[in-house]
Amino acid sequence: MRVPLGRGGAGRPPPCRPIMSGTGTEGKVRGGGPRDRRAGEIMDARTMCHMADKTIRWGILGTGGIAEVFTADLLRLEGHEVVAVGSRSTATAAAFADRHGIGRAHGSYAALAADPEVDVVYVATPHPVHFEPARLCVEAGRAVLVEKPLTTSAAEAARLADLAREHGVFVMEAMWTRFSPLIRRLHSLVGEGAIGDVSAIFADFSIAPPFDPAHRLWAAELAGGALLDLGCYVLSITWPLLGPPDTVQATAAPAPTGVDANTGILLGYRAGAVALLHCGLMGESPHTATIVGTKGRIELAAPFYRPEAMTLVRQGGERETFSVDLAGNGYTYQAEEVARCLRLGLTESPLLPLDESVAVLRVIDEIAGSFRR
């Protein structure tokens, strides 16, 4: 079966309710708390009128590798325009602007945040430099898409969420996997009962980069380690299906720099479901994920965080394969979700509310704390 691919994944989200009974997740946002009435709050009427049917004007904050990739995907989309870039260096910003045909280059993050021609800023800085630029943008009234993880701790993420709500400004974590067409189809299948109740989730994301104590993956001062960079993916795949865990266990092998280099995670849920997750920097793993239910399973082909194929295996062995040709590098879908929310006047995405981003980071904090003691 071929999954039809709409333009950039636009459109209303499919059903994505938790299907486990008695887990304590019923009626909750997939982030671990009762739905905050502020989530998805409507912007004021003037902002909605301004955004409806207009081209979404992007500013890019940061000029590293992920900024290059995301900008390339934005340039593929109709209804989106990259109008400005900001860096700590005017020369670096100008070079990035020249490469991508961007009209304005700002020599500071604050200048980009203050640019009145920008509707939304993509924060593409290293992990420890997510909160402060995002704060600048929110306080300037700019919508923000913050590269994952939203921040480096749950406390910081909660501060950003509170600030966004205080100012009535849209903020979303760039957990791009969540908006992939096949991930949304998976949620729909599970919500429809295609595999019964979810009983187990298996996901792994381990890579084998060369050890370099100065590299962001290995450096403690750059919030390195597998958990923040890769663990957020394996945790995020569980959240819409099982909600927040009731128990969290983990073990990790440290790198010479002190960051986690190989981490195993076991999440438990009251109804009996479990999630076995792995992230690491010590070897290339298959990068697959499997959702097991009482009536079948769904296998996400590698890489599960950017899937182009998945297989539904029903009880009795009947197999149904879904596939899709992804647009660009796979980042277009999160950009289209931002645009959809802005045009509807939403201040949060119902597909990935801020409370969920905070809750995932709370579990990461708990795991990290368990092996640092």
Which pLDDT tens digit goes with each residue over 164-193?
999 999 999 999 999 999 999 999 999 999
Helix axes 181-191, 232-242, angle to 10 degrees: 30
2 DSSP assignment = B
pLDDT band of residue 26 (cuts 50, 70, 90) is very low
CATH number corresponding to 181-325+362-372: 3.30.360.10
CA gap 316, 154 in Å, rounded:
43
Contacts 24+ apart (CB under 8 A), 215-222: 216/126, 216/127, 217/259, 217/281, 218/255, 218/257, 218/259, 218/281, 219/257, 219/259, 220/257, 220/258, 220/259, 221/128, 222/126, 222/127, 222/128
Q: Identify which of 218, 264, 266, 260 has the alpha carbon closest to the alpha carbon of residue 246.
A: 266
Domain boundaries, the chain: 38-176+331-352, 181-325+362-372
Q: What pTM was estimated for this model as a whole?
A: 0.86
259, two tokens: 């960051």
Quote the mean pLDDT of the chain: 88
- Per-residue model confidence as pLDDT tens digits over 228-284: 999 999 999 999 999 999 999 999 999 999 999 999 999 999 999 999 999 999 999
* pLDDT confidence tier of residue 15, bands split at 50, 70 and 90: very low
Q: What is the pLDDT of residue 370?
A: 79
Q: Which residues are catalytic?
A: 148
For tokens 């280059």, name the residue: 105
- Tell whether domain 38-176+331-352 is in CATH 3.40.50.720: yes
Measured CA to CA, the distance from residue 43 to residue 146 in angstroms comes to: 19
Average of per-residue pLDDT across 329-350: 97
Name 52's bridge partners.
none
Q: Are strands 309-314 and 319-323 parallel, antiparallel or unpaired?
A: antiparallel
